[in-house]
Amino acid sequence: MVKRINFINPFGSSAYDDIIRKTLSHYCASDTELAVTHLENCPTDIDFFYSKHLIEQSLFEAVMVSEEQGYDAVIVGCLYDPGVRVARELVDIPVVGPLEASFQMAAYYGHSTMVLTDHRKAVPYIQDEARLNGQGHTVRGVDAIDWFVKDMINDRRAVADDVVRLSREAAQRFGAETVIMGCTIIAAIYQEYLMEGGEPSAVPIINPNLMALKMAEGLADLHRSGGYFVARQGFYMKPTGHFDAEFRNARKVWNASKPIFAR
C-alpha cells in the first residue's frame, strides 16, 4: 500500500515542477507516490515578505485540499518553510518544511552545519529560524549566494559552479562541516548537476528537498499506522468551538474571491 506525498511548490508558477520531480524521484522510498504540484492565483516569486504572505494564504487552501484528497503528508517546497506552522493548525496530516527538516537531519551528515541561501534578504530570516529550530548550536552561520530564483533556472551551470565555490568558502569562514543548500531550486539545480556527472563539492552539501522527503515519508508511515498526532491543547489548537462557524465562513469567502493574478 503506497504512501502519497504532495510536494507543493509554493509559487504561482509551474516553472519549477519539472526539476523537482526530476531530482527527487530517484530518492523516493519504494512505496512512495510523489506528486509535485504548484499554486495558482498567487505571486510567482516569494522573494519579498508581502508576496510570501499572499502565497501562504493560497498554500493553506492547498494543504487543506491535500488532506481531503487523501495525501499522507505535505511538503512545502521553499526554504522559508512558508506557512508550515500555521498549516499544522488546520490539518491532521504532517506538514513538512525543508529548512526545518534540514536542521533536524543535518547531524547525521556532520557535527555542524550552515545555510547558504539565495539572496541577502533571506539571511536574517533564516538566522531567526536557526535560533528557534536549529539543533542545539550546530548551525554556525547563514550566508547568501546572491542569485534570484527567476534568474537561476535559466543559467543552471553557472549556479552549480557558484554553489561549489561558495560552499567551500562559506564553510571555512563559519567553521561548518556541511552546508545546507538554502533554496529548494538551487538544491535541485545542484542535484541535477551531480546527476549529469558534475564534480561534487569538497564540502558536503545537504539537499533540503531530500531531507523533507525522508521526513515526510517517515511521518506518512506513522500517520497511516496510527503513530502520528498533533498536540491540540496549545499552539496547534484547531479552530473549533465558537470559532468554527467563523472559520468556515472565512474560508468559503476567501475561496470565492481570491485574487486573480496576471502573469
Residues 108-137 that bind a copy of itself (CB under 8 A): 108-112, 120-121, 123-125, 127-128, 131-137
**Cα distance between residue 51 and residue 22, in whole Å:** 27
Select the residue interacting with a copy of itself from 35, 85, 168, 198 (CB under 8 A).
85
Identify which of residues 70 and 262 has a Cβ nearer to a copy of itself in the complex.
Answer: 262
Under rule CB under 8 A, residue 247 binds a copy of itself: yes
**Cα distance between residue 94 and residue 229, in whole Å:** 9
Under rule CB under 8 A, residue 103 binds a copy of itself: yes
Q: How far is the CB of 69 from a copy of itself (least distance, A)?
A: 19
The DSSP H or E segment spanning 205 is: strand 205-206
Span of 13-21, 155-163, 182-190, 254-262 interacting with a copy of itself by CB under 8 A? 254-262
**Cα distance between residue 58 and residue 106, in whole Å:** 30
Under rule CB under 8 A, residue 68 binds a copy of itself: no
Strand partners, 73: 5
* CB neighbour class for 200 (10 Å; exposed up to 12, middle 13-18, buried from 19): exposed
**Cα distance between residue 183 and residue 180, in whole Å:** 9
Identify which of residues 40 and 125 has a Cβ nearer to a copy of itself in the complex.
Answer: 125
- Give the rounded distance of the alpha carbon of 58 from its chain centre: 15
* Alpha carbon distances (Å) from 206 to 91, 128, 160, 209: 29, 20, 14, 9
**Cα distance between residue 67 and residue 69, in whole Å:** 5
The 19-48 site mask, x for binding a copy of itself (CB under 8 A), equals -------xx-xxx-----------xxx-xx
Give the total of residues touching a copy of itself (CB under 8 A): 97
The footprint of a copy of itself on residues 164-223 (CB under 8 A) is 175, 177-178, 203-204, 207, 210, 214-215, 217-219, 221-222
Identify which of residues 159 and 170 has a Cβ nearer to a copy of itself in the complex.
Answer: 170
Q: How far is the CB of 199 from a copy of itself (least distance, A)?
A: 15
Identify which of residues 70 and 255 has a Cβ nearer to a copy of itself in the complex.
Answer: 255
Select the residue interacting with a copy of itself from 70, 197, 199, 242 (CB under 8 A).
242
Q: How far apart are the first and last CA of the chain?
A: 40
Under rule CB under 8 A, residue 248 binds a copy of itself: no
Identify which of residues 37 and 133 has a Cβ nearer to a copy of itself in the complex.
Answer: 133
**Cα distance between residue 28 and residue 36, in whole Å:** 13
Identify which of residues 6 and 178 has a Cβ nearer to a copy of itself in the complex.
Answer: 178
Strand partners, 8: 37, 76
Select the residue interacting with a copy of itself from 4, 21, 22, 53 (CB under 8 A).
53
Nearest to 118 by CA among 164, 187, 49, 175: 187
Identify which of residues 183 and 203 has a Cβ nearer to a copy of itself in the complex.
Answer: 203
